[in-house]
Chains A and B, each alone.
Chain A
């Protein structure tokens, strides 16, 4: 297995907030086969509600990239909307990033512990990071939190 790099200049250039606070760690090689939406749900598929029926999206949920549709998709696997990102030992939490200007969902992260979250960054690496480490023009910031009981 290839050794993972400690840092990645492209990530840091695109997400400068990664360098503040506790920094970040690269936790997987680059991979085009799954995305953040699936990774947040611990599912290594490419989730997206594309209207051409190529990517995975639950059949019960409208194939539109709205926050409501993403909430419905995660509700189907046991998540419910919660008020905040506070760590709760008995729950898994995810954060859904929403672009304020357009209302579009841009990204999702999964909580790992009281201080760190895991994200798949497009076709790039998985990283662990602080919640606000990916706040950026591209992803905007977490706007919705959901949780489910740990199995």
Chain B
């Protein structure tokens, strides 16, 4: 059983969304990694801008994850979880990255926003999913 530090739980509403979507051992792993990411990114003092932080986390995640097809593993990656922990601050950078080309931001977007603009027919069609999320981002003012 994972014990959640109260302060961290309060600081991140995304913790609940990231963990309740999973069950059993997978949920424990997601919770454990999410707590590690939050502890790391809330305790570290840094002079990084949000953009610099996003780029660092994004670069590290893409490097770590290049041979994996397992979308579940995104939530085992501390850098990807770090971006989710940035919450809405990360959204403009995620959409900017998506506009440069498709990538697997969909899980992070779904957790941070609580939305899912991907139609059933478009699931798994990465280009269509990218278009759906960019349209959603425009409608909600996160990108132009």
Interface residues of A (CB under 8 A from B): 10-11, 14-15, 32-38, 45-48, 50-57, 59, 64-65, 102, 104-107, 120-124, 138
Given A14-B67, A48-B70, A33 and B123 contact (CB-CB distance below 8 Å): no
A-B contact pairs, 20 of them (CB 8 A): A32-B101, A32-B102, A32-B104, A32-B126, A33-B127, A34-B126, A35-B69, A46-B124, A50-B72, A53-B110, A54-B106, A54-B110, A64-B23, A65-B26, A102-B25, A104-B72, A107-B69, A122-B65, A122-B66, A122-B68
Given A32-B126, A38-B124, A45-B125, A50 and B71 contact (CB-CB distance below 8 Å): yes
Given A32-B102, A123-B66, A53 and B72 contact (CB-CB distance below 8 Å): no
Main secondary structure of the interface of B (DSSP, over half): loop
Q: Check A124 against B66 for contact (C-beta < 8 Å).
A: yes
Contact with A along B116-144 (1 / 0, CB 8 A): 10101001111101000000000000000
Q: Check A33 against B126 for contact (C-beta < 8 Å).
A: yes
Q: Which of B7-49 contact A (CB under 8 A)?
A: 21-23, 25-26
Bound state CA distance, A50 and B123, in angstroms?
11
User: What residues of chain B lie closer than 8 Å to A120, measured between beta carbons?
Assistant: 69
Bound state CA distance, A59 and B70, in angstroms?
18
Q: Check B70 against A104 for contact (C-beta < 8 Å).
A: yes
Bound state CA distance, A56 and B127, in angstroms?
13
Q: Check A54 against B67 for contact (C-beta < 8 Å).
A: no
User: What residues of chain B lie closer than 8 Å to A65, measured between beta carbons?
Assistant: 26, 70, 72
Q: Which of B22, B71, B104, B110 has the most CB of A within 10 A?
A: B71
**Closest partner residue, chain B, to A56 (CB atom):** B124
Judge if B57 is at the interface, Cβ distance under 8 Å.
Answer: no
Q: Check A50 against B66 for contact (C-beta < 8 Å).
A: no
CB distance from B93 to the nearest CB of A (A): 18
Q: Check B66 against A47 for contact (C-beta < 8 Å).
A: no
Chain B interface residue number, banded: 20 to 34
Contact with A along B88-106 (1 / 0, CB 8 A): 0000000000000111101
Q: Check B68 against A55 for contact (C-beta < 8 Å).
A: no
Given A32-B103, A32-B104, A47-B124, A52 and B69 contact (CB-CB distance below 8 Å): no
Q: Check B116 against A54 for contact (C-beta < 8 Å).
A: yes
Candidates A34, A36, A48, A53; contact of B116 at CB < 8 Å: A53
Judge if B78 is at the interface, Cβ distance under 8 Å.
Answer: no
**Closest partner residue, chain A, to B22 (CB atom):** A51
Candidates B67, B120, B126; contact of A124 at CB < 8 Å: B67
